[in-house]
A and B are shown apart, each in its own frame.
Chain A
Amino acid sequence: MLPEFEYHRPASLEEAVRLLSELGPDAKVIAGGTDLVVKMRAGLVSPRHVVDLSRLTEIRFIRDEGDRLKIGAGTTLWEIENSREVARGVPVLREAVEEMASWHVKTTATIGGNLCNASPAADAAPPLMVHDATLVVVGPEGRREVPIGEFFTGPGQTVLGVGEILAEVVVPKMRRGQGAAFEKLTVREGALSIASAAALVEISGGRFVDARVALGAVAPTPIRALKVERALKGRPATREILRSASREAKADIKPITDVRGSREYREEMSVVLVRRALERAVERAGGAWA
C-alpha cells in the first residue's frame, strides 16, 4: 500500500487549478502515475493530496493547426505514437516515443508527465527542444507561455509554481528542406536513456542554414548543444564539418556518473549520438551533402 493521501478528481482544468491553489504545496497532480507512483512507493515524495488529471479530456488532444501541432499535456505516449499528425508534423517526437518504456507503460504515461517530472533523461524533451516547442501553463494567475528551453531548472525541477498545470505543448511542424532524427543509448529496449540526442537541420544551397541539437541525460536538465549548433550554422553541409561540430558536444554537456553510465562514457557517447543524429537528419532533409 502507498503512503496515505487524500484523492481528488476535479471535473475541469479550472477546478483543478482552484483546488491546487487551495491545497498548496502539499498537493501533487497525477496523470499516468508512471513516475509519481514509483516515487511515492520509494518514499521520495509523500503528498498529502493527490489531484487526478487523468480524466480531463480538455488536456487530451492532438490538433493540427497548419504550421504547428498542439498536443494536450494529458495525451498518452501511446496516442502520440499512433498519431498520424505527429508522424507527419513532428516525426522526431514519434521516433523518441517509440523507443520509450513499453506498450503497457505508454497506454497511461502522458507527455505532460514526462516533461513535468523533469528527469534529465526525459526522452520527449530533446525532440521538443529542437522543434522550439512552447509550453502553455495555466495557473491561479491565468495562462502563460514558456519556451521549452526555459522550462527545466534542475533535476526534477521546473518553473511551475504552486497551482500551475502544464496544459499543452505547441510544436512548430517540420518544414520542407528540414530533417530531424533521434538517437538513444540504453542498456535494452524500453529502458531509460544513458544518453540521448535529437537533431534538426535545414539545408539550402549545400549549407546548414539551420541546425538545432539537444541532448538528454548528460546534464542536470535536457539541454541544447549550442556550441555544436554554432559550429554548423552557415557552413557547408559536409561530413567533415558535421564530424568536427559533433565533437563540440563535450563542451556543451555536464554529465555525471550513475548506475546507468560513467561521466567519461557519457562524454564519448554524446559525440557519437550527436553525429549519428545529425547524419540521419541531413539524409532526411534531402541528403544534400555538399
Chain B
Amino acid sequence: MRAGGGGIVVRFTLNGREVEVTTRPNATLLDLLRNELKILSVRRGCETGECGMCTVLVDGLPVRSCLMLAPQVDGRSVTTVEGVGDPERLHPVQEAFVEAGAVQCGFCTPAMVLTAKALLDRDPNPDERTVKEAILGVLCRCTGYAKIVRAVRLAAERVAGGVRE
C-alpha cells in the first residue's frame, strides 16, 4: 500500500470498536487519537519518547503513541484508558489508584493505569521490582511513585483474589 500528502484510511479496533479514519500519513498515532478522535486522555508530553504520557496499548502492550505513525496501527487493536472499566464499574487498577491515593494532578494517570493493566494481564502477581520496572517508562511529577507502586500491588491482590475481572 502507498499513501501520499492527501489522506490515508486507517482501520483499527479502538477500545473494542471498529473504527475507520482518514488521516495524513505523517500523523502519529498520538495526533490521530487526539486531533481526529478527540481522545484527550492520551496526553501530548515531550513527543520525543521520554515521558510516556502518550502511552496506549497496542495489541495489549504499552507503546509510545508519539513515536508510532498512525498508519502503523492499521488492522491492530488500540486501548486507551476509556477502554479500561467505566465510571460505574471501575477496573480493579482504577479502584486501587483511587484508594491508594495514587493520583495527584492526574496528568500521568491514564498512562499509569494502562501500564499497570498491561502488566497485570501478563503477570498477575508482580513483585515490587517488577512493578517499578514496568512504570519506569512513565514520568510522574507529583506522587513520588510510592503510592502508585502501592496501588498496582493492591490491584494485583484484588485481581488475584478474584474480586472482580
Q: Interface on A for B, CB 8 Å cutoff?
A: 1-9, 30, 32-34, 37-38, 41-42, 50, 52, 54, 78, 101-105, 107-108, 189-190
**Which residues on the B side are within 8 Å of A32 (C-beta)?**
67
Expressed in whole angstroms, the minimum distance between the Cβ of A10 and any Cβ of chain B is: 8
Known: A37-B69, A41-B47, A108-B67. A9 touches B61 (CB 8 A): no
**Which residues on the A side are within 8 Å of B25 (C-beta)?**
4-7, 50
A239 to B3, CA, bound (A): 60
Decide if A190 touches B136 in the complex (CB within 8 Å).
yes
**Which residues on the A side are within 8 Å of B136 (C-beta)?**
102-103, 189-190
Nearest 4 pairs of A and B residues by beta carbon: A102-B137, A7-B25, A104-B137, A107-B61
Q: When each residue 117-140 of chain B gets 1 if its CB lies under 8 Å from chain A and 0 otherwise, what string results?
A: 000000000000000011011100
Which listed residue, B1, B28, B58, B133, touches A37 by the CB 8 Å rule? Answer: B28
Can you report 26 residue pairs joining A to B where beta carbons are below 8 Å apart? A1-B24, A1-B27, A5-B26, A6-B2, A6-B3, A6-B5, A7-B26, A7-B69, A7-B71, A9-B1, A30-B69, A30-B72, A32-B67, A33-B67, A34-B49, A34-B64, A37-B69, A41-B47, A41-B48, A52-B71, A52-B72, A102-B136, A105-B67, A107-B61, A107-B63, A108-B64
Decide if B69 touches A52 in the complex (CB within 8 Å).
yes
**Which residues on the B side are within 8 Å of A2 (C-beta)?**
26-28
Known: A32-B67, A34-B49, A107-B63. A3 touches B137 (CB 8 A): no
Expressed in whole angstroms, the minimum distance between the Cβ of B129 and any Cβ of chain A is: 11
Decide if B26 touches A4 in the complex (CB within 8 Å).
yes
Q: A7-B3, A104-B52, A105-B64 are known contacts; what are 15 more A-B pairs with Cβ within 8 Å? A: A2-B26, A6-B25, A7-B26, A9-B71, A33-B72, A34-B67, A38-B48, A54-B72, A102-B52, A103-B133, A103-B136, A104-B63, A105-B49, A107-B58, A108-B68
B44-94 interface with A by 8 A CB criterion: 47-49, 52, 55, 58, 61-64, 66-69, 71-72, 74
Report the count of interface residues on B (CB-CB < 8 A): 35
A150 to B115, CA, bound (A): 39
Decide if A8 touches B1 in the complex (CB within 8 Å).
yes
Any A CB within 8 A of the CB of B14? no
Known: A7-B8, A34-B49, A190-B137. A78 touches B3 (CB 8 A): no
Which listed residue, A33, A101, A102, A189, touches B69 by the CB 8 Å rule? Answer: A33
- Smallest Cβ-Cβ distance to A190: which chain B residue: B136
A165 to B137, CA, bound (A): 30
A108 to B28, CA, bound (A): 14
Known: A33-B72, A189-B136. A4 touches B67 (CB 8 A): no
Any A CB within 8 A of the CB of B4? yes
A108 to B49, CA, bound (A): 12
**Which residues on the A side are within 8 Å of B58 (C-beta)?**
107-108
A41 to B31, CA, bound (A): 13
**Which residues on the B side are within 8 Å of A37 (C-beta)?**
28, 49, 66-69
Expressed in whole angstroms, the minimum distance between the Cβ of B74 and any Cβ of chain A is: 8
**Which residues on the A side are within 8 Å of B67 (C-beta)?**
32-34, 37-38, 105, 108
Decide if A33 touches B68 in the complex (CB within 8 Å).
yes
A3 to B27, CA, bound (A): 9
Decide if A107 touches B2 in the complex (CB within 8 Å).
no
A2 to B48, CA, bound (A): 12
B103-122 interface with A by 8 A CB criterion: 115
**Which residues on the A side are within 8 Å of B1 (C-beta)?**
8-9
Expressed in whole angstroms, the minimum distance between the Cβ of A21 and any Cβ of chain B is: 16
**Which residues on the A side are within 8 Å of B66 (C-beta)?**
37
Decide if A78 touches B61 in the complex (CB within 8 Å).
yes
- Smallest Cβ-Cβ distance to B138: which chain A residue: A104
A78 to B63, CA, bound (A): 11
